[in-house]
Amino acid sequence: MHILPILLAGALASHVAHAETADPNDGAGVNTCAINIKPRTQEYPWMSIGRWKRMHEDQLALADKGDVDLMFIGDSITEGWPRAIWNAHFGAYKAGNFGIGGDNTGNVLWRLQDKRMARLAPKAIVLLIGVNNLGLCDERPEQVFPGIKEVVTALRKQYPAARILLNAVLPTGEFPTSERRQNVVTLNKMVATLDDGRHVVFRDYGASFVRPDGAIGTDIMGDYLHLTPKGYTIWAGAMLPDVQALMK
């Protein structure tokens, strides 16, 4: 049982500093998404608020059934799994896709707090989140990290029996020297500290997506952000041994 929306195309042009405005009373003093728990309020050409709400409702309907052993949650990179690749690698599990394009950590926190999500009882959770905090919210790594930490905390509280495969934010930007890539590297060093060796397992599969010189090819990430089918095959192959171990 799973939801497999179509991979978002052309989103790179939208990954600019379109920060969702924080509550002016939250004391942050800046626009932030990280721990600003709220539904989607920003319209994008590739993701209307209406579509976001429909996807959330579809995922709540999936949660109502409760028949999910392997839960994937995150943004468009999670949303966009091609069905054939998903089935080939995760078809042996009762896998559910709870990714929505454009989501930041605050959006995921808002989705998780819905009581219907508590009907799930996954054995393992695959989490990938944070790149939209950097790209769409224009947050610095030190601002994004508390949001990722809070998502992990929320998942542990909501699903205490589940083990979490915490993905490093995937490399983005064509070249390793780009600011985008360096921000991801800095953020992932922080995210790695959330690995407790038992309930939360951090894995950085980033090296699998880059060439020897560190550059990203469009055959793997068409816009240097979103995965192509080849990219998903690489990610699935890299993750599968860890997923199998966590599902035991």
Query: Among all residues, which ones are annotated catalytic?
Result: 76, 223, 226
What is the DSSP code string of 61-91? HHHHH---SEEEEESHHHHT--HHHHHHHHT
Q: CA-CA distance, 27 to 36, in Å (whole number)?
A: 11
Q: CA-CA distance, 65 to 118, in Å (whole number)?
A: 11
Only one residue has tokens 């035991």, namely 248
Residue 12's identity, in one-letter code, is L
Q: CA-CA distance, 103 to 168, in Å (whole number)?
A: 16
Is 68 buried (19+), middle (13-18) or exposed (0-12) by CB count in 10 A? Answer: buried
Residue in 196, 149, 158, 155 with CA at minimum distance from that of residue 35: 149
Q: CA-CA distance, 248 to 149, in Å (whole number)?
A: 25
Q: CA-CA distance, 101 to 79, in Å (whole number)?
A: 6
